[in-house]
Structures are given as C-alpha cells and as structure tokens.
Amino acid sequence: MSDYAADNKIRLVLGQNVKDMDAYRKAALLEDGRIVFYEKCLLATGGEPRPLPSAPKHAHITTFRSVS
C-alpha cells in the first residue's frame, strides 16, 4: 500500500467484484464473502476518468487516473 493510502486511512481492495452494497449500513459485500464497511467509498469500474467540465473549481472532486 502506498504511503498516501496508509496516511489517509485508505484501504484498497483490488481484484474483487462487489456483489451487493448497503448504503445505509455503509457496507459492501465482496464476491469472496467478505463485508467491507466504509466511511466513504470509491468504486472504480475500469473506465477512463474524465474531469467534469461543469464542476466548480472549489468543489471537492478528485479524479483518480491510476492506483498510484
């Protein structure tokens, strides 16, 4: 795990499909049966990230281009 992820309490779960999500409990059920609880969640579906042209400059929006 990168220092950035560790310093910011980010847990990367790679190579797993999410079978179900419960937004009220803030939990994701993974295909291997594990349940991951989260405060905030980013689902990366493998698409190409694009910045949002209409987003205000002061908005708290982060575009991830790679795991690193």
CA 10 – CA 50 distance, rounded (Å): 22
The predicted pLDDT at position 2 comes to 67
The predicted pLDDT at position 22 comes to 92
The predicted pLDDT at position 61 comes to 67
For the chain, give every domain's residue range: 3-37
pLDDT tens, residue order, the chain (68 aa): 568 778 888 888 888 888 998 989 999 999 999 999 988 887 766 667 666 677 666 666 667 766 66
Q: Which residues contact residue 61 at a Cβ distance below 8 angstroms, ignoring those fewer than 6 apart?
A: 52, 55
DSSP E strand boundaries for 1-68? 18-22, 27-30, 35-37
Evaluated on CA atoms 43, 58, 65, 5, the torsion sign reads negative
